[in-house]
Structure formats: structure tokens, C-alpha cells
Structure 1
Amino acid sequence: MISLVSSSVASLVALVALVALTPALAGYIVRSVLKGFGYLNQKKSEARRALIRARVRVEEEDYRSRRARQTASSKPSRLEEEDWETVDKDGGSSSTSSGDAKNYNDWAGIVGFFHPFCNAGGGGERVLWAAVDAVQKRWPKAICAVYTGDHDVDKATMLKNIERRFNIQLHPPTVVFLYLSTRRYVLSSTWPHFTLLGQSIGSLIVAYDAFTLLVPDIFIDTMGYAFASALSHYLFPEVPTGSYVHYPTISTDMLESLDDASGSKGLNSGAGKGWKGVAKKRYWHAFAQLYGWVGSTIDVVMCNSSWTSAHIQSLWLPARRKRGIQYQAASVVFPPVAVSELETIKIDLKSEREVRQPAILYIAQFRPEKNHQLILHAFARFLKQYNATAESRGSKDPKADSESDGNSSRSPQLILIGSVRHQTSDETHIYNLRLLAHELRIRDNTTFLCDANWPTVIENLRKSSIGVNAMWNEHFGIGVVEYQAAGLISVVHDSGGPKQDIVVDLDDEGATGFHATTEVEFAAAFEAALALPEEEKLAMRLRARKSAQRFSGQQFEKKWLCEMEKLVELQVKRTSA
């Protein structure tokens, strides 16, 4: 009897142990299978890897040969003279200390940048290309492989677009473009229902597509597809992963917006009503937990603003600590802005009177979340009041006395500048915006500039008085920093990065712009900014320019390379272990 009881107890203990170990055992099996797939994938891509290196060597020799001929016949270009001569001689940029073994100055690995929409021309793309530029200067022997779905743009055209849009000149031989065939799976239109989960699953498909093309030595997601980095972690544990987060896929603000009754908190504002709303809340909360687990697998995390960092920390940090990730906290790496180039724009009384016009400038991609509609409505309200005030002063046509009364009497203009992702939805969106401008009777005072080049952007920054941004919880706002560097008075949405990081009071010197939320508030801010006395306008413009120094390209490069060195060190340690 005692023997029977002992046997039963032993069986029960064994059963409990098996149940307890089953999740861990299942997890171990899944990880092993994924690692096996990764190993086979690496073996298959070795030939392509060797081919890429051979092609880079050929292009490098051809580039140096052409540069030698150019140098013999004429003065070298700025890029060759200032950047690459320094790199060739010193083996790295001056922003990092030389002689320190941990800097791995001769590192010659392949950095894979996961950015399926690299030709989009927005702020995220500026970050990508500035990052590639920094890596090229810091590690001249490294190869920067960019995974893209832009099949309609070849390498030469892409590099020209980068220089035209962002004034960034890359070293062509060590930039490689790998063309994805599955980009459609990360489009929101592909997933009309359960879009967050669908796009995340889609990013896994696209990432696997990328890995079949090439397995890099370091994998960096620069678009915000955290699931892609997680897949890399499980397929290739020895490959360090990095993520530059522009905007959390889901945030507590998004969850709160479902219960917002004002309708001013993004595209899903007030969508939590009824049984569908309750279901959506539960779905979003479940996805937030999944998103936190995914973020715990990434080695190095960078965020573009304090707002983004706060949300990423709340979602990812607990799981990262539990997993024991070496670099647990996310770093804030502000996006690069062409601050030094824009400082050529003069800020003085003469420019205020002769160059600046009562123009309101909005630089943003033509996408629904940028909320161009709000600005069109606010501008229509402001213009109506402006014209009524002008008429009450005896001027039936505000344009008529622009010759005699200076810039202040010119009719205000709204200038919308932005790139277009050549998709039907975006083109339809622009058409609807033009239609709205017509319906609001501000068509003659509104200008749309699609895919404008950099000189056009600078010219409009030079002549405009106000820079506006209307996106709710804009993750950062590169355009807003450009406004500040150019001396514009900013009027931004009272949320996100523009509120927390950019349009802030400069120490004890005063404000650098205005915040607004509603149509009425934006219209009032336009009126208040244009009504400022000349001296106060100049003072605010100068404060804004001083504030913009925090977001220069040099500051970005310094912080980016600091994070990159962590990834390079991890890669060297893992491959040599």
C-alpha cells in the first residue's frame, strides 16, 4: 500500500514537473527550429554575400579611378575633398576617439538597413540616409545594404534623389540596394481589418524576404517594424539588432484616444464606443503586450524624441529587464536637421520688411494623419477674419496696397510642401485637399508643392513667416526644426514631440512659438504671430534658431555613432566567441 502511494506521488510530481516544463520546452524547440532555419538561410546567402563584396570592390576601384582623373583635370568636389579624403587617411570621422581598441576602426562588416520605403522622401528617410552617411564616414570599409521595395528606382537615381531632397551625398560604392518583392504586406490597405496585427505579420514576411537576399552582420530597422528585428534575433542570434523608433506601433495615448469625445486625437479618436469599440480596446491591449515582448528582443533601441522614448520605455523596458538585455534603456537620438544650411537665411529688420511675407508654410508628407484638413479650415477662418479687418480699415482688397504699406498688407498665403508616396490613396488624398481648398474659397491663397526639391524648400523657408504642424502626437517633427532654424515662428499641435522637445521656452529668454489644438486655436495663433511687433518677431525668430541647434546633423551623427559602436562591439564579440 505504501509502495502504491509512493508511486502515485512520484507520478504526480513527474506530471506537475512536465506541465511546468512544457512551456519552456516548447519555447526551446521553437527557438531551435528558427535557429536552424536561420543557419540554412545563411548558408544559402553566402554566394550572394561574396558577390556583393566583389561588386563593391569593383565599384570602389572604378570610383577611385574616376576621382583620380577628375582630380587631375579639375578641382575635387566638396564630398571628395572634405569627406572622403579625411576618411581615407584617418580611417574614421573625427567625432570618435582614435586609438581606442573598442572603436573597431577597421570593422568591415555589412550593416543591413531595413527600410522598405526608402525613396519616400520624408523625415524617416532623412534619418536613414544620415545614418548611412555616418556609418560610411566612421567605418569606410563597411557595406551599407538597404532593403527596399522601390523597384522603379535604380541606384544612381536613388542617390540623386537623396542629394536633391536632403543634400546628403553618399559614397556610392559601399551602398547596396536589395529589392524586396513582398512590400505590399506592410501596407495598411492589405489589412483592412486588424491592421496593427496584420502589418506586423506582414513585416515578418517582408523581413524574411530580406534575409533570403542577404543576412547582414548587423540588422537595423529604421522604419519601426519591431517584429522584423525580433525575427532576426531568433533566426540569427549572433547578428546584433538595432531599432530606430520614429513612432510606437501602439501607445497608451492611442488606447486613451478610443474614449476621446472631442475627435481631436488622431484617426481613431472616439472609436471605443459600442461592442465594436470594446472589442477594439481588448485587441489593442493584447497587441500592446505582444509589442512589449517583441521589443524585448532588440539589442540597441533608439527613439527620435522624448515622447516616443517615454512610450517605448513603458511598453518595452519591463520585458527587456526580465530578459536581461545588455542595453536596456532606449536612447533618445534626435533626427538630423539641416540646421547649418538654413542658418544662411538672414534674420534682421531688412529681411523682415523686404523678404518675409505673411505666408504660412506646412512641410509634411501628404498623408491623412498629418491633418492638412485642419490647417485648411483654420487658414480659411483666419483669412476671412483678416480680410474683414482689412476692409474695416478701408482696404477692400488687401493686395492693393502692398506697394505702399510693406509686407504687412500682402494677402496671406498657405503653402503646403510634401512628398508623395506614389500610391493611389495618397494621390486621392491630395486631390481631396485641393477640392477642400476650393470649397473653402481659399484656392487662390493656397499653393500645393509635391515632391519639391531642396532649393525650393529653402526658398519658401526664407520668405515665409509662420511654420505650422497639425499632426496629433507627431512623434518628432523635423519640419518644425527646419522652421526654427530658418527663423519662422512655429504654430504646432499641442502634443507629441513638437510640444515636448521642439517648440519650448528657451531657458529664461522666452517662447519660440505657439501651441494649438482646434481650428479656432490655430486661426488665433496665425493672427497672433503675424500681429507681433517687428522687434518681438525678430526676438522670437532668433530664439527659435538658437533652440534648433539641439537638432543639428552633427549632433545626430555623434549620438548615432555612439549607438552603432555598441552594435559593432556586440557583433565582434559574438562572432569571435
Structure 2
Amino acid sequence: MHLLTTSLLVWTICSASAWILLRIYRAKLQTANRTRRTDLLHKLGRNSDSQRLVGFFHPYCNAGGGGERVLWTAIAAIQRTEPDIVSVVYSGDTDVTKEDIISKVKARFDIALDPKALDFVFLNSRKVVEDSTWKYFTLLGQSLGSMYLAWEAMSKLIPDLYIDTMGYAFTFHVVTLLAGIPVGAYVHYPTISTNMLNRVKSRRKWHTNSDIISSSTFLSQCKLLYYRIFMYYYALSLRSAAFIMVNSSWTQNHVNAILQHSDLLLDTLHRMIPFKMLGGRYGSATSAQIVYPPCDTREISRFSLTGRERIILTWTKYFFTLTLRVILSRPEKDHPTQLRAFSRLLKDHPQYSDSEHSVKLVLIGGSRNPDDEARVQSLRSLAEELGIQAHIEFIVNAPYPTMLSWLARASIGLSTMVDEHFGINVVEFMAAGLIPVAHKSGGPLQDIVVPFNGQLTGYHADSVETFAEALHTALSLSSDEDIAMRQRARTWAVQRFSEAEFERSWNASQWKSFLPVTE
């Protein structure tokens, strides 16, 4: 009994000492920040008394992908509607300048940014959030690394509002503790989901659950425990946010489920440890709001709907937003299923193999390194094994005009990824005038390939057989039905997922209510 009392006393003293030291460090940090803030606003030629700073945590802001389009479109909207706000981007792109990034944003996305309402805090420790740094326990390693990166960010500049736009929810604790400001997020994809737990629990082999793990009861139970603990603290992180925006119904459903997630054992243990100080006074998120990402469909929506060739087109992640950085070999895109479905189509409907009705499958994407090259070669080998190589064409690292030309020629856009959180590639197919055939899950099912004015805009499938049948259905439409479906798909995509719609939803969200009021 005496030992227990002594242990509790020591623990209480250590906890109190740590809390006092944290408060002292926080006070010093915030004192130094007043000078940094004044210097920044003076550099931008702004009155420090009336300006507010919104910080965007986006370590890869110069990557040119779909997440970056969301970031820059949001900042451009703020610049147009909130003249007293300066956007500050926390970036790990230390090899470029502010001017370089602004120029690239204009060239890549055709988004013009005002340099007097934008600045960057360059972070030197981005390597700590790269998956290559954490060979094992990658989720945990990257999350801890993001907390370190957030510490570097706050030690350089504290904004009035912090918004994570890359999915680093564990940074919320650091920002709350050190800066004492409200935090929010735009979530593209949950770091961990109930689907991931269920796949480990059912010992289902997946690209996130290797054969070594799924074939072992002991390793599966260990990984399940790891995921349960991680999920618990991920939920705690999300609940510490003041607001959460998400990119689709699928992501919203998963984030809302995570926000409600609890674990009796971990709840009990958590009360025994002084983690309550992690909670911020602004943390109140109980649900997420959908703000669909902006898709630039202006150029491709002008392609003719007629004269299309019998080409089934597929590519990986964010064609227009990522251009030459699309990766043909990403395993979650499940390209082998595309090849097998196409093989089944030719087997069930031999007419597609003859010269008059010949159909071609074209796979477009990028190859970054030897590992990518090996995976692309495995797809070529599978095509040969299936005996369909004569009807397959691989377009690797194609220039932008070449990809545009394929979009203008093709008839069908194919996407087989399971639980695609949104599906910008599917939106781009539809805007370009292709008929989409997408997996019956995620964003393509719930948000994108949905009826427009009560009529179909494309097809869904969930197996090799159903994908083959959906492709046959799309290829068998009459001329009038074909044109009508292409037009519906285009109209829906352009109308629902435009930059203007994103800006309307962004401005209508509650993020501005957490900014300090200025006179």
C-alpha cells in the first residue's frame, strides 16, 4: 500500500512538473511569435492590427496533385472574399521559393494567387513523415513524425487558425498544446478506417494486409491490437478539432464512425493517464461536412461527344491534377482486375476481337522508379498470360497532350479501385465525355456515378464478371442512348464538381467562425 501511494505521489509530481514546464515553454513561444507575426505582416505590407493569419499544414504543397488543388482553390477563394486574411502554408518544399510555388500553381492549375496575401513557412524535417522513413509500424511512425513537424511549424509561426489539409490529425494535439488556437481539417482519406480493422480481423489479404500477416493467427491478432490502439487515438485527435470538412460521402461516413469510436478497455486506461490535457478548449467536432473537391473540367468538357473509338481507357489517380505523376502501378487501383475483366469481355463476346468491332484497353500512367517498372512489367506479363496483349496498349509517362488526345478518342473510362474515397479520375472521364464503369463502392457509387434527372450516368461493378458485363452494356448502347448518357455524365460532372461549387461550399462552412474578431 505504501509503495502504491508513493508511486502515485511521484507520478502526480512528475505530471504537474511536466505541465508547468509546458506552460512556461508555451508562454515563451507565444511571446516570440508576436515579433514573428509583426515581421511577416510588415514584409507583406499589411497593418498588423487588423490582419488575421490562417495556417494551412500541407508539407507537400508543391506536389501538384488533387490535394494541392483543394489547397490552392481554398486559398484563392479566401483571397477573393476575405481581404483581411493572410494565408500561411507550412511546406516542406525547401528546394523552391515562394515565387516558384506561385508560378507552378498558375501553370498547373490556372489559379492566380496574390503574393501579398500569402506566405510560406518552410519546414526542414519533412522526412519524418515520409513512409520510406518508417519501414515498420508506418502509420504510427508517420503520425509521430507529423507531431514533430507540427512542433517545428509552431516554433516558427503561430497563426490564428490552423487547418490541416493533408491528413495529419495527430498534429492537432501539438498545435493545441503549444499554440492554444482552434484547429480544423479537410480530410481526403481517413488515416485508418473500420474497413482496415475488419480486413485484419477477417484475415483477408490486401495491399495493406500482407499474406504473411493474414496467414498467421498470432500476427493478425497483434496487428489488430495495434490498429485498435491507433484507431482510438486517431479518433481522439479528430475529436479535438473544431471543424472537419471531407471530400465525399464515403469519407464522411468513415470519419463520422471514427468520431463515435470508443473502446471500453482503452477508455479505462486513458482515464488513468493524464492525457486529458491533450484536449483543446475548441475541440468539439462530432460530425464532418462534405465539401466536394474542385475538378478543373473546362478544357476536357469541350471534347466532342461523337466520333468516339471503341477504346476503354484507364489511368491512375488524378490525371489532370497530377498530370505526369500518375502512377500506373499503384496496387490499390487493382489493374489486374481490369485486365481480367477485359479478358472475360473478349471471351464472352468474341465479336470484340474481330477487326470490324475490335475493342482496345488502354492503360495510361507513370512509372517513377524500378519498383514501379517491375509492377508495370507484371501487368504486361499478365496480359500475355491472358492472351489479350494484341488488344492492350500501355502508355507510360506520356506527355500531357498525348493524354488529352486519348481522352478525346476513348468511349469508356474504367476504374476498379475498391473504396475509392472520391474518384477525381472518374469525374474527369465523365467531363471528357466518356461513359464511366467504376467499382460499386466509395465515391464513384455514392457521389459521382449517380442518376442525373432520374437517368443513368454510367455503370457500377464489383467483380471480374460484372465489370465485363458492364463494359459490354456500355459498348452495346444505341447511338442515341450512347450520346444521351455521355451528355448526362458530362453535365452532372461539370455542374456538381466545379471550382465554383467547391468555393461556395468552402465559404459556407464554419471555419471563419473560429477566427478572432477584429475591429
Taking structure 1 as the reference length, the TM-score comes to 0.74
Q: CA deviation at 1:302?
A: 0.8
Identity of paired residues, percent?
33
Query: CA offset at residue 25 of structure 1?
Result: 8.8
8 Å CA contact 1:146, 1:177 repeated in 2? yes
The CA distance in 2 between the partners of 1:173 and 1:568, in whole Å, is: 20
What amino acid maps onto 1:462 in structure 2? Answer: A
Question: Counterpart amino acid of 1:39?
Answer: A
Distance 1:369 1:316, change over 3 A: farther
CA 521–433 in structure 1, closer or farther in 2 if over 3 Å, else same = farther
1:226 counterpart SS class = coil
Matched, 1:430 2:372: yes
The alignment partner of 2:170 has SS state of: helix
1:476 equivalent in alignment to 2:434: no
Partner of 2:336: 374
Give the aligned partner of residue 113 of structure 1. 56
How many angstroms apart in 1 are the aligned matches of 2:253 and 2:17? Answer: 35
- Partner in structure 2 of residue 39 of structure 1: 27
Quick one: distance in 1 between partners of 2:313 and 2:365?
11
Counterparts of 2:251 and 2:282, CA distance in 1: 22
Deviations along 1:215-255, one digit per CA (max 9) or x if unpaired, are 12211100010011221112111x22111111111111111
2:44 to 56, 60, 65: 56
Match of 2:360 among 412, 415, 426: 412
8 Å Cα contact 2:412/2:474 also seen in 1 = yes
Cα distance in 2 for partners of 1:38, 1:560 equals 32
Does residue 448 in structure 1 map to residue 436 in structure 2? no
**Rounded Cα–Cα distance in structure 2 between residues aligned with 1:133 and 1:457:** 28
**Equivalent-residue separation in structure 2 for 1:114 and 1:222 (angstroms):** 6
Alignment of 1:69-84 (within 5 A): none
Of 246, 254, 258, the residue aligned with 1:315 is 258
C-alpha displacement of 1:181: 1.2
Amino acid at match of 1:225: Y
Of the three residues 273, 291, 308, the one matched with 1:333 is: 291
DSSP 3-state at the match of 2:460: strand
- Paired position in structure 2 for 1:248: 190
Matches within 5 A, 1:38-437: 38-57=26-45, 108-237=51-180, 239-260=181-202, 263=205, 266-268=207-209, 271-272=213-214, 273-317=216-260, 325-326=283-284, 328-346=286-304, 351-352=305-306, 354-364=307-317, 365-366=326-327, 368-371=330-333, 373-374=335-336, 377-378=339-340, 381=343, 385=347, 388-390=350-352, 395=354, 398=355, 409=357, 411-417=359-365, 426-437=368-379
Matching residue's letter, 1:254: M
User: Matches of 1:340 and 1:477 in 2, distance apart?
Assistant: 18
Larger mean Cα displacement after TM superposition, 488-497 or 310-319: 310-319
| Alpha-carbon distance change, 332 to 274 in structure 1, aligned in 2, over 3 angstroms | same
Shift of 1:38: 2.9
Aligned to 1:538: 483
Structure 1 residue 116 displacement after superposition: 1.0
Contact 1:132 1:144 in 2 (8 A): yes
How much does 1:189 deviate? 1.8
Distance in 2, Cα, partners of 1:30 & 1:378: 59
- Which amino acid counterpart does residue 155 of structure 2 have in structure 1? T
TM-score norm. by structure 2 comes to: 0.82
Q: Is the 8 A contact 1:147 1:179 kept in 2?
A: yes
Deviations 1:79-102 (A, max 9, x none): xxxxxxxxxxxxxxxxxxxxxxxx
Q: Which amino acid aligns with 1:497?
A: G
How far did residue 260 of structure 1 move?
Answer: 4.7
Aligned equivalent of 2:266: none
487, 503, 512: which one aligns with 2:449: 503
- Range 548-557 or range 245-254, more displaced: 548-557
Query: For residues 324 and 166 of structure 1, do their structure 2 counterparts lie closer, same or farther at Cα, with a shift above 3 Å needed?
Result: closer
- Residues 31 and 496 (structure 1), Cα distance of their counterparts in 2 relative to 1, 3 Å cut: farther
Q: Which runs of 5+ in 2 are unaligned?
A: 263-277, 318-325
> Given residue 377 of structure 2, which amino acid in structure 1 is its aligned partner?
L
**How far is the alpha carbon of 1:50 from its aligned partner?**
3.2
Contact 2:240 2:279 (C-alpha < 8 Å) held by counterparts? no
**Could you tell me whether the CA contact under 8 Å between 2:146 and 2:170 is conserved in 1?**
yes
- The Cα shift of 1:470 comes to 2.6
Structure 1 counterpart of 2:360, one-letter code: P
Give the conservation status (yes or no) of the 8 Å contact 1:200–1:227: yes
1:443-478 CA-to-partner distances (Å, cap 9, x unmatched) read 88424354855x665544332222222322111112
CA contact (8 A) 2:360 2:392 kept: yes
- CA separation of 1:121 and 1:518: change in aligned 2, threshold 3 A: farther
Change beyond 3 A, Cα 1:196–1:463: same
**Cα distance change of structure 1 residues 23 and 212 upon mapping to structure 2, 3 Å threshold:** same
Residues 479-501 of structure 1 deviation map (CA, whole Å, 9 limit, x = unaligned): 21222222221122222222222
Matched AA of 1:361: T
Give the 3 Å change call, closer, same or farther, for CA 173–37 of structure 1 in structure 2: same
CA contact (8 A) 1:357 1:465 kept: yes
The verdict on how the C-alpha distance between 1:443 and 1:204 changes in structure 2, with shifts beyond 3 A counting, is farther
Closer, same or farther in 2 for the Cα pair 1:330/1:107, shift >3 Å? Answer: farther
**CA RMSD after TM alignment:** 3.5
Q: Deviations over 1:406-460 (max 9, x none)?
A: xxx4652414246x7xxxxx5234312431343224488424354855x665544
Number of residue pairs the alignment of both structures matches = 483
- SS, match of residue 89 in structure 2: strand
Q: Deviations over 1:17-70 (max 9, x none)?
A: x97x99999877655544433332233344443333233239x9xxxxxxxxxx
| Partner-residue secondary structure (3-state), 2:369 | helix
Cα deviation for residue 166 of structure 1 reads 2.4
Distance in 2 of aligned mates of 1:459 and 1:40? 58
Find the aligned partners of 1:33 and 1:121 in 2 and give their Cα distance: 41
The whole-number CA distance in structure 2 between the counterparts of 1:325 and 1:545 is 40
- The correspondence of residues 538-557 of structure 1 with structure 2, limited to 5 A, is 538-548=483-493, 549-557=495-503
Please say if residues 369 and 471 of structure 1, whose CA atoms lie closer than 8 Å, have aligned partners that are also in contact: no
Distance in 2 between residues matched to 1:502 and 1:219, nearest whole Å: 30
